[in-house]
Amino acid sequence: MRINMPAATRRAMALTFGSVILIGGIAAYVVSKHVWAQDQLAQLEPRYARLIGLEASASALDAALIERRALVARHAYPSSQDVARAGSDAQQRARDALSKAGLEVSSTQVLPAKVVEGFDRIPVVLHVEGELPALQSALVVLPAQVPSLFMEGFNVQTIGMPKADGPQRLSIQVNLFVLRVRQ
């Protein structure tokens, strides 16, 4: 069954139907953009909160950075000093500390530096002789050096036959290292 409608009515209905579809499409687009924007905000919110937290703790972070720099300066040579000079200085400081403790330094050697986590690690090997009390004194003095002389290990051997009437003479190899900040 077919109803005859005037052409103007059919056009008006088609225009109304097209307008409803167009408005529906626009509404669906707007809703999808709103959902996308909400998802983006949900992803950004934790990041923004972290940034606000960092900003609020800026003074504590600055204080920690100053403390870290002081600690690095206490334990490592600055990057402005070259590796050879840092090794030579560490060698001389170790010689002086061991000599002042009463040990006789027979030889020293600065070995090639190795890169370790932002630092140049410069090994220094010393061969010394002396008695046990002098070695104990040296082991107390070495950690007080600035920049730090880190003891990696040492080897102690007796020289000659043990003496019952006096202290035993020792031959000692001391393995130290120092750190230099890399640029």
Backbone angles phi, psi at 74, to 5 degrees: -70, -35
User: 88-103: per-residue pLDDT in tens?
Assistant: 999 999 999 999 999 9
* Residue 56: strand pairing partners: none
Helices (H), 57-106: 58-75, 83-100
Q: Return d(Cα 18, Cα 9) in angstroms, integer.
A: 14
Backbone angles phi, psi at 162, to 5 degrees: -60, 140
Q: What is the mean pLDDT of the chain?
A: 89
Question: What is the pLDDT at residue 1?
Answer: 57
pTM for the whole structure = 0.68
Q: What is the residue extent of each domain of the chain?
A: 7-56, 79-181
- Are the C-beta atoms of residues 79 and 142 closer than 8 Å to each other? no
Enter the CATH code of domain 79-181: 3.30.70.60
